[in-house]
């Protein structure tokens, strides 16, 4: 009779430990603390997760921490949640080495388990705006002048913006998927003459390319096989 009781006790402890770990990995708007025991689980549990590899003594890390705390609940509340997490890379050196961390803080963004270096802004509101790009639709469908303006404003100044006026979304969908990490793509279905004046085009279909950070704007009337040349011009490739 003693053996089953021991087994029951072990199973109870194991379940309690797993339950605790599951609670740690909830996207509840807090910055998760990761270590060598739960890092891989976190990466596989969340489609989108930004990880801050930090050192406790690092001044830049200390300044970044409250920005992440502020951004975390906003990003967790998106339709496609983005989780923020951090790793004490000074303590968990094997984990830091595995991910090629050689300076602090280093931010890495994991999309469906695939890492990329995060080189965007680190102030909370700008970090949120930047990361929203990666969970946005491949092609946004815009149905009014106000929707166009809202799209451009939400896109910010970090990435090139492409708006196809009167353009079928299938024309750009493949490129939108390919360059999702590098540019915003949209198709405007309904718009006024005022929009044509604002974006400086006089016929449809037309493609307007904006790069706010360079203050560049171009209009492209086709043939749309020239997309690659246009994207290259705006440093999107």
Extended beta strands in 94-230, E state: 106-111, 114-117, 140-142, 161-165, 184-188, 206-211, 216-220
Three-class SS state of 165: strand
* CA quadruple 148, 150, 154, 156: dihedral sign: positive
Active site residues: 58, 61
Q: How many helices (H) and strands (E) does the chain have?
A: 9, 10
Q: What is the distance between the alpha carbons of residues 144 and 138, in angstroms, rounded to a whole number?
A: 19
Three-class SS state of 86: strand
Q: What is the DSSP code (8-state) at residue 137?
A: -
Provide the b/e sequence for 138-162 (b: ≥16 CB within 10 Å). ebbebeebebbeebbeebbeebbbb
């Amino acid at each position: 009779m003693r053996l089953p009781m021991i087994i029951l006790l072990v199973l109870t402890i194991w379940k309690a430990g797993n339950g605790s770990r599951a609670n740690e990995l909830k996207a509840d708007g807090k910055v998760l603390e990761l270590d060598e025991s739960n890092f891989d689980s976190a990466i596989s549990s969340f489609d989108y997760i930004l990880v801050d590899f930090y050192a406790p003594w690092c001044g830049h890390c200390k300044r970044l921490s409250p920005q992440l705390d502020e951004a975390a609940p906003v990003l967790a509340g998106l339709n496609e949640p983005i989780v923020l997490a951090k790793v004490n890379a000074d303590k968990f050196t094997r984990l830091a080495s595995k991910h090629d961390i050689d300076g602090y803080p280093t931010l890495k963004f994991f999309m469906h388990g695939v890492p990329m270096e995060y080189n965007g802004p680190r102030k909370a509101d700008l970090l949120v705006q930047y990361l929203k790009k990666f969970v946005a639709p491949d092609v946004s469908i815009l149905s009014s002048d106000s929707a166009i303006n809202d799209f451009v404003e939400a896109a910010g100044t970090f990435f090139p913006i492409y708006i196809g006026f009167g353009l079928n979304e299938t024309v750009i969908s493949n490129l939108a998927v390919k360059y999702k990490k590098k540019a915003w793509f949209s198709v405007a279905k309904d718009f006024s003459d005022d929009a044509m004046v604002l974006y400086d085009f006089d016929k449809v279909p037309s493609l307007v390319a904006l790069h706010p950070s360079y203050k560049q704007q171009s209009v492209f009337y086709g043939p749309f096989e020239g997309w690659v040349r246009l994207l290259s011009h705006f440093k999107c490739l």
